[in-house]
Amino acid sequence: MGALFEWSWLIIAFPLLGFLINLISTGQTRERTVGVVASMAAAASFGMSVLVFAALLARPPEARLVEVSLYRWAIVPPLTAEVGLRIDPLSTAMALIVTLVGTLIHVYSIGYMAGDPHIRRFFMFLNLFLASMLLLVLADNFLVLFVGWELVGLCSYLLIGFWFEVPYNAWAGRKAFIVNRIGDFGFTLGLLLLFWTFGTFRYGPIFEAVEHRAVEAGVVTLITLLLFAGVTGKSAQIPLYVWLPDAMAGPTPVSALIHAATMVTAGVYLIARAHPLFAMAPFVQGVVTLIGAVTALWAALIAVGQFDIKRVLAFSTISQLGYMVAAAGAGAVGAAIFHLGTHAFFKALLFLGAGSVIHALEHAHRHPGDPSPFDPNDMRRMGGLAQRMPLTFWTYGIGAAALAGLPPLAGFWSKDEILISLRGIGGWATLAYGLLLGAAFLTAFYMTRQVGMVFAGSPRSHAAAHAHESPAVMTVPLGIFAFFSVVAGWINAPGLGALSAWLEPEHPPVFHPEQALLATLIALAGIGAAWAIYRPQAWPEGVEDPLRPVLRGFFTALTRKLYVDELYDFLFVRPFEKVARGVAEVVEPYGIDGAVNGLARLVQSAAGRVRRWSSGYVRQYGLSVLIGAVLLMFYILWMLR
Non-local (6+) Cβ contacts of 354 within 8 A are 252, 309, 310, 313, 396
Residue closer to another protein by CB (options 174, 423) is: 174
> Maximum Cα–Cα distance for the chain, whole Å?
124
Give the residues across from 67 on adjacent strands. Answer: 86
- The residue within the footprint of another protein, chosen from 57, 58, 75, 567 (CB under 8 A), is 75
- The residue within the footprint of another protein, chosen from 5, 33, 50, 73 (CB under 8 A), is 73
Whether the Cβ atoms of residue 280 and residue 211 lie closer than 8 Å to each other: no
Q: How far is the CB of 246 from another protein (least distance, A)?
A: 14
Residue closer to another protein by CB (options 54, 166) is: 166
Q: At what angle do helices 217-234 and 167-198 cross, to 10 degrees?
A: 160
Choices 14-22, 168-176, 207-215, 368-376; region in contact with another protein by CB under 8 A: 168-176
- The residue within the footprint of another protein, chosen from 68, 96, 154, 473 (CB under 8 A), is 154
Four-point Cα dihedral 49, 54, 60, 62, nearest 10: 10
CA distances from 442 to 248, 456, 529 (A): 21, 20, 10
What is the pattern of x (binds another protein, CB under 8 A) and - over residues 179-198? --xx-xx--xx--xx-xx--
Residue closer to another protein by CB (options 40, 151) is: 151
What is the pattern of x (binds another protein, CB under 8 A) and - over residues 558-587? ------------------xx-xxx-xxx--
Residue closer to another protein by CB (options 54, 596) is: 596
- The residue within the footprint of another protein, chosen from 2, 60, 115, 167 (CB under 8 A), is 167
What's the full length of the chain, in residues?
641
Mapped onto helix, strand or coil, the DSSP state of residue 460 is: coil
User: Would you count residue 600 as binding another protein (CB under 8 A)?
Assistant: yes
Choices 34-42, 153-161, 324-332, 338-346; region in contact with another protein by CB under 8 A: 153-161
- Rounded Cα–Cα distance for residues 498 and 25 (Å): 43
- Rounded Cα–Cα distance for residues 131 and 223 (Å): 27
Q: At what angle do helices 266-273 and 142-160 cross, to 10 degrees?
A: 170
Q: How far is the CB of 597 from another protein (least distance, A)?
A: 8
- Rounded Cα–Cα distance for residues 459 and 614 (Å): 93
Residue closer to another protein by CB (options 595, 631) is: 595
71, containing H or E segment? strand 66-76
Residues in binding contact with another protein, number by CB under 8 A:
63
User: Would you count residue 366 as binding another protein (CB under 8 A)?
Assistant: no
- The residue within the footprint of another protein, chosen from 208, 211, 370, 588 (CB under 8 A), is 588
Whether the Cβ atoms of residue 83 and residue 136 lie closer than 8 Å to each other: no
87, containing H or E segment? strand 79-87
Q: How far is the CB of 611 from another protein (least distance, A)?
A: 4
**Beta-carbon neighbour count of residue 258 at 10 Å?**
27
Window 603 to 622, contacts with another protein (CB under 8 A): 611-619, 622
Residues engaged in binding another protein (CB under 8 A): 71-79, 146-147, 149-151, 154, 157, 161, 164-167, 169-171, 174, 177-178, 181-182, 184-185, 188-189, 192-193, 195-196, 576-577, 579-581, 583-585, 588, 592-593, 595-596, 600, 611-619, 622-623, 626
